[in-house]
Structure 1
Amino acid sequence: HELIATDVVARLGGDEFIALLEGSRSADAAPKIAARIMDTLNEELVIDAHCMTVGASIGISQFPADSVTAEELLLNADAAMY
């Protein structure tokens, strides 16, 4: 599963980001894309001969199963992350 041109990734503030995956995808698309994001973030970075890693937490909510409003989708994704 890949991100497509209509998908949006944006920074909400601080260290919070959102990925909006639009279009008709299978129900398991979001968890598979989240796993790919985590795999990419877990790759070791080398900057000026220093090895670094990045950590992240991901919560998923889906329309319309989890909510029909954007605000509730964000709240549910936040709850899922914890």
Structure 2
Amino acid sequence: MTYSLIQLAPGAYDLLLNGEVIGSVVRTGERSNNTVWTAELLENLPHGQRPAPFVEVEHTFLTLEPLCDWLGDPQVKSNFGRSAIARSA
């Protein structure tokens, strides 16, 4: 399974599995205090149908780095600050 992240805005990513959006990764809290990163599936699939490594629908991490490690070091792309025309190119 190959995950990738597409940055939509600071602290907000689409989570893709083999090119299909299956969830999101978001940062909540203040940048310096109480920051939590959450990986969340779009659908509440039964346990046996969730893609690895998802055991639950949501998983939280203190920083983005361990979240990315958990996902197997996904490729990270940015759409932040680009127009819809540039994104489709």
TM norm. shorter chain > 0.5: no
* Structure with higher RCO (Cα < 8 A, 6+ apart): 2
TM-score by length of 2: 0.29
Considering only CA atoms, is the larger Rg found in Structure 1 or Structure 2? Answer: 1
Q: Per residue, is there more helix in 1 or in 2?
A: 1
Whose strand proportion is higher, 1 or 2?
Answer: 2
